[in-house]
Amino acid sequence: MLKKLGHYLTKMETEGIFNRRDKIVKFFDTYNRRDQMSCIRRQWLRKTWLAVGTLLLLVSNCSGGLAQGSLGQKASEDEKSSLKQSGTVSVALSRPQMEQFLLTARVVQQKPLSVGVTNSQRATLDDGKLKHDAHIQTVDISKTSFETVRGTEFNFRDSYKYNMAAYELDKLLDLNMVPPSVERKVAGHAAAVTWWVDDSMLELDRKKKKIEPPDQPHWNQQMYDCRVFDQLIYNTDRNLGNLLITKDWKVWMIDHTRAFRMMKNLGNPKNLVQCDRKLLAKLRDLNKDRLQETLGRYLTRMEIEGLLARRDLIVKFFDDQVARKGEAAVLFDLDRSKF
């Protein structure tokens, strides 16, 4: 039975289990003789306690390592996410740990996705200890003008770099609604490698199947924050196919390759309804120097200036709404303990 633990325990740790097992057996053998129990009952107790004692020892030796994850670092409570190990064991990883995995793990399998128009790939990554899927996008197109479903867009750009910009901005806002995304080369091409959100459904599928959220007010609050974020980054491609919902009804925003326009106006101000109080405070804290330091690798100066101009409009909108309607009607405190 202990051979199965060879992947997790050293030889000395295994020998330690046997030594402690022998002491447990000896203890109960002595206890049984002192009480002059019958031979049959003594044998039954011996086998029972042997099994229980061994199981407890195995748990005490193995649980500590698994609880912290195979990367050996404990994840912070507000940044936990699941990663499947060899397709069977889930461990908690912090966002920095997920970033490191995405940057360094070997790409062992790739297949084209049937949705989307940027020829993106779903890939399996393996660092020798953990396996997890990722979304790989290499699109990087710039055009003077481009025809979209919304009409002609000038200075059009569709770039994998905006995925990293969206993720880094999500971290600045402490939103935690955009999965980790890093820049690395895949098969010789610069790409965005984004954490694959497991056990999720598309908002498109939710609507088709007419599945209602169990907590409608909490769901609405998440969607309000999504709308604020999309107005901030001037996302021209938010649709029901790039909103994901996990089993705990957490919303994730993915695929931001057509965002971060240079416009200094809001794309659709009617989408602004309410805002998380914490998010609004984080928006106020944004400044040009901080954005340049964090997003300068992915955004141009004009794109950052456009973002800040839209931030000003969003903050002003909610300040005006609070002045007219009162805080209770405009701002809320999103309960993140549900995730």
- What are 64's two structure tokens? 């500590």
Position with higher pLDDT, 339 vs 279:
279
pLDDT at 65: 32
pLDDT at 43: 52
Q: Which residues pair with 270 in a beta bridge?
A: none
Position with higher pLDDT, 225 vs 40:
225
pLDDT at 250: 97
pLDDT digits (tens, 9 = 90+) for 85-104: 333 234 689 999 999 999 99
Q: What is the mean pLDDT of residues 268-276?
A: 97
Q: What is the mean pLDDT of residues 294-315?
A: 98
pLDDT at 11: 60
pLDDT at 150: 81
pLDDT at 148: 86
What beta strand segments (E) does the chain contain?
81-85, 89-93, 106-112, 121-126, 131-137, 140-148, 151-159, 181-186, 189-195, 200-202, 243-246, 251-253, 275-276, 331-332
Position with higher pLDDT, 193 vs 75:
193
Percentage of the chain lying above the pLDDT 70 cut = 73
DSSP for residue 286: -
Judged against a pLDDT cut of 80, whether residue 82 lies above it is answered with: no
Judged against a pLDDT cut of 70, whether residue 140 lies above it is answered with: yes
CB 42 within 8 A of CB 71: no
Rg (CA), the chain: 26
pLDDT at 337: 82
pLDDT digits (tens, 9 = 90+) for 8-20: 556 656 666 666 7
Q: What is the mean pLDDT of residues 291-309?
A: 98
CB 218 within 8 A of CB 249: yes
Judged against a pLDDT cut of 60, whether residue 112 lies above it is answered with: yes
Number of CB atoms found within 10 A of residue 335's CB: 11
Whole-angstrom Cα distance, residue 76 to residue 225?
Answer: 23
First to last CA, the chain: 37
Residue 164 CA: distances (Å) to CA of 185, 193, 216, 297, 311: 14, 9, 31, 9, 19
Mind spelling out the 3-state secondary structure of 232-276?
HHCCCCCCCCCEEEECCCCEEECCCCCCCCCCCCCCCHHHCCCEE
Q: Residue 332, SS3?
A: strand
pLDDT digits (tens, 9 = 90+) for 22-78: 767 565 565 444 444 444 444 544 554 444 444 444 433 333 332 223 333 333 333
Whole-angstrom Cα distance, residue 290 to residue 172?
Answer: 9
Instruction: Tell how many helices (H) and how many strands (E) occur in the chain.
Output: 10, 14
